[in-house]
Structure 1
Amino acid sequence: MLSYQHIYHAGNLADVHKHSLLAWMLEYLTRKDKPVSYIETHAGRALYDLTSDEAVKTGEAAQGIARAKTWFSPDHPYSKALNQTTETHGENAYPGSPMIAVQTLRESDTITLAELHPTEHLNLELALPTAKCWRTDGFMMGHSMCPPTPRRGLMLIDPSFEIKDDYDTIPGHIKKYARAWNVGVIALWYPILTMGSHHNMLKTLESNHPDALRHEIQFPPARPGHGMIGSGLFVIRPPFGLAEEGAKLKTRFDALN
Structure 2
Amino acid sequence: MLSYQHIYHAGNLADVHKHSLLSWMLAYLTRKDKPLTYLETHAGRALYDLDAEEARKTGEAAAGIARTRGWFGPEHPYTQVLERVSAEDGPNAYPGSPLIASHLLRPSDKIHLAELHPAEHAALELAMSPTGAKCHLRDGFEMAFALCPPTPRRGLLLIDPSYEIKSDYDDIFRHIAKLHRAWNVGIIALWYPILKSGAHGPMLEALSAQHKDALRHEVRFAPARPGHGMVGSGMFVLNPPYGLAEEARRLGARYAKLL
Give me the TM-score of the superposition, normalised by structure 1.
0.99
Structure 2 gaps, min length 5: none
One-letter code aligned to 1:139: F
- Matched AA of 1:164: K
The one of 206, 222, 227 equivalent to 2:224 is: 222
Alignment counterpart, residue 181 of structure 1, candidates 175, 180, 183: 183
Residue 108 of structure 1 is matched in structure 2 by: 108
The 3-state SS of whatever aligns with 2:3 is: coil
What whole-Å deviation, never above 9, does each CA across 1:188-220 have from its counterpart, x for those lacking one? 000001001110000110111111000000001
In structure 1, distance between residues paired with 2:199 and 2:96: 24
Does residue 91 in structure 1 map to residue 91 in structure 2? yes
1:243 is aligned to 2:245: yes
Q: How do residues 161-172 of structure 1 correspond to structure 2 at under 5 angstroms?
A: 161-172=163-174
Residue deviations 1:24-47, cap 9 Å, x none?
A: 000000000000100000000000
Looking at structure 2, the residues matched to 211 and 255 of structure 1 have their Cα atoms a distance apart, in angstroms, of: 28
Give the structure 2 partner of residue 68 of structure 1.
Answer: 68
Equivalence for 2:204: 202
Confirm or deny that 1:2 pairs with 2:6: no
Corresponding residue for 1:119? Answer: 119
Q: Percent identity at matched positions? A: 67
**How far did residue 163 of structure 1 move?**
1.0
Question: Which residue, 149, 152, 169 being the options, matches 2:151?
Answer: 149
Letter of the aligned partner of 1:207 in structure 2?
A
Q: Deviations over 1:148-206 (max 9, x none)?
A: 00010000000000111000000100001111001100000000010011100001101
Per-residue CA distance 1:137-156 (angstroms, 9 max, x = gap) = 00111100110000100000
Taking the aligned partners of 1:226 and 1:108, their CA distance within structure 2 comes to 42
3-state SS of the aligned residue for 1:75? coil
Q: Matched residue of 1:150: which SS?
A: coil
Structure 1 counterpart of 2:212, which letter?
P
Deviation of 1:241 after TM superposition, in Å, equals: 0.3
Q: Is 1:22 matched up with 2:22? A: yes
Q: Distance in 1 between matches of 2:143 and 2:109?
A: 18
So what's the TM-score if we normalise by structure 2?
0.99
Deviations 1:4-61 (CA, angstroms, capped at 9, x unpaired): 0000000000000000000000000000000010000000000000000000000000
SS in 1 for 2:241: coil
The SS at the match of 2:39 is strand
Aligned-pair Cα RMSD in Å: 0.5
Match of residue 190, structure 1, among 192, 210, 214: 192
